[in-house]
Structures are given as structure tokens and as C-alpha cells.
Chain A
Amino acid sequence: VIWMTQSPSLLSASTGDRVIISCRMSQGISSYLAWYQQKPGKAPELLIYAASTLQSGVPSRFSGSGSGTDFTLTISCLQSEDFATYYCQQYYSFPPTFGQGTKVEIK
């Protein structure tokens, strides 16, 4: 099983801020990493796959980078609708695993 450490677990930020969320793997996964956004009471939504490819319809202020064991999700200019919880997920090997989540809250 590949373990994931996502940090921080809670991030307080203001609209317009640049936000960076980190995800570290217990072993290399090449670029088989996805990022999801989840709002309260809703299903997760895919933001980024293959570590850095933006899913269709996702605003360009979201970007992903990294390969191997270290990955980041960056929101370049936080908007009000971006306050949510973010999860990373590896799909390099079974079982696919998720990070613990990062809640982005209003400062």
C-alpha cells in the first residue's frame, strides 16, 4: 500500500492569496496523481490528473506539479468559491489511496 502525507490539514487564507498544498508519497508513483475538490455535502470533483493536467472546465488558477514522491497543488489567486477541502489521490498501484485532505478556510 502506498501511503500519502498531505499537508497542511488546515489552511487559512484570504481571497486573492496564493495557496499551495503538498502531497508526499511513501514511494515513487511517476505522475499518477490526481487532485480533487470537495465542498460540504457534495461529491468530490476532479481538478487535475497526471499530476499537472487540468481537467476540462477547471479554471486556470489551479495548477499541479511534481513527480515521483512529491507533488503540489497551487491555487494562484484564491476565489470565494475555492474554499473547500482538497484531496490528492495516487492511482499508480492498487489500492488507489487518498491523502487525508486539506481544508481551505476563510482567514
Chain B
Amino acid sequence: QVQLVQSGAEVKKPGASVKVSCKASGYTFTSYDINWVRQATGQGLEWMGWMNPNSGNTGYAQKFQGRVTMTRNTSISTAYMELSSLRSEDTAVYYCARVRRYSSLLDAFDIWGQGTMVTVSS
């Protein structure tokens, strides 16, 4: 079935970087954009950015510009989100999510990964 499976929980110190993976299966990875959304405990959903797995093109929320990098490895159908200069406020669950329509830049997110908890603590 169509699914996104993310890497496991991470604990990082302030100032470090984290790289979360998102492995796609059940569909053609390069045909649907991947977005990243995060959620702090008890809080709402915050969009971080998108990546086109075919071209590698990306777009990031202004808040994360300069700190986030989204990449992919098409040979293993996996997307990555790396966040650097971590601070305590980055403690959250990070989700990857697929856009609903083929080759659509902006759309609803129909498939979500299970989430990766990233804890930033000294």
C-alpha cells in the first residue's frame, strides 16, 4: 500500500543538526511532491517546506530559511529533512507528507509519515 515510513526518534543537543528520513513505497516516488510539517507537543501544525523528488527543487518557510535543507535519494525512494542549529524550541514531532495530486505543487496532503520525535535538550 501507499505509505511513508520515517526514521526513529532523535535526541540532540542545542546547536547540533538532525536529519530525518522519509521512505516512500507503493507509488512512484518522483511523481508527487513531499512536504514537511512539524508539531510541538500540544500545539498545532506548522509547515516547514516542500521538495520535488524528481527535480530536487525545494521551497522553505521563511522561518526556517538558512537552517533547513530538504534532499532526496531517488534510488531508494527516500526524502530527507535536515535542520541545523537546533534549539529547545525545535523539540517537536516532524512529519513528511505527500501532496494528493500527481505533479502538483500545492495541494492537500493525502499520505503522512508516522512522525519522528526530535528532542533538543542539553
A62 CB within 8 Å of chain B: no
Interface residue? A17 (CB, 8 A): no
| Given contact pairs A87-B44, A98-B45, A99-B44, A46 touches B114 in the complex (Cβ within 8 A) | no
Q: How far is it, in angstroms, between the C-alpha of A95 and the C-alpha of B113 when the chains are bound?
A: 20
Give every chain B residue within 8 A of A50 (Cβ-Cβ): 108
Which residues of A are found within 8 Å of B108, using beta-carbon distances?
A: 34, 46, 49-50, 89, 91
Query: Are B47 and A43 touching (Cβ within 8 A)?
Result: no
CA distance A72 to B108 in the complex (A): 16
**Is the pair B46, A94 in contact by a Cβ cutoff of 8 Å?**
no
Is A98's CB under 8 angstroms from B109's CB? Answer: no
Q: How many positions in chain A have a CB within 8 Å of any CB in the partner chain?
A: 24
**Which residues of the partner chain B approach A95 to less than 8 Å between Cβ atoms?**
47, 61-62
Number of A-B contacts (CB under 8 A): 54
Interface membership of chain A positions 40-56, coded 1 if the CB is closer than 8 angstroms to chain B and 0 otherwise: 00111110011000010
Shortest distance from the beta carbon of A87 to any chain B beta carbon, whole Å: 6
Question: What residues of chain B lie closer than 8 Å to A87, measured between beta carbons?
Answer: 44-45
A46 to chain B, nearest CB (A): 5
Q: Nearest A residue to B59 by beta-carbon distance?
A: A94
**CB-based contact B107/A98 at 8 Å:** no
Q: Name the CB-closest residue of B to A1.
A: B62
Q: Is B32 interfacial (CB-CB < 8 Å)?
A: no
Q: Is A28 on the interface with B (CB-CB < 8 A)?
A: no
Chain A contacts of B61 at CB under 8 A? 95
Task: Verify B110–A55 contact, CB threshold 8 A.
Answer: yes
CA distance A96 to B110 in the complex (A): 14
Whether B106 contacts A98 by the Cβ 8 Å rule is: no
Which residue of chain B lies nearest to A46 when distances are taken between CB atoms in the complex? Answer: B110
B23 to chain A: which residues have CB within 8 Å?
none
Q: 23 interchain pairs (CB within 8 A)?
A: A32-B106, A34-B109, A43-B95, A43-B97, A43-B113, A43-B115, A44-B45, A44-B112, A45-B112, A46-B108, A46-B110, A49-B107, A49-B108, A49-B110, A87-B45, A91-B108, A93-B106, A95-B61, A96-B47, A98-B45, A100-B44, A101-B44, A101-B45
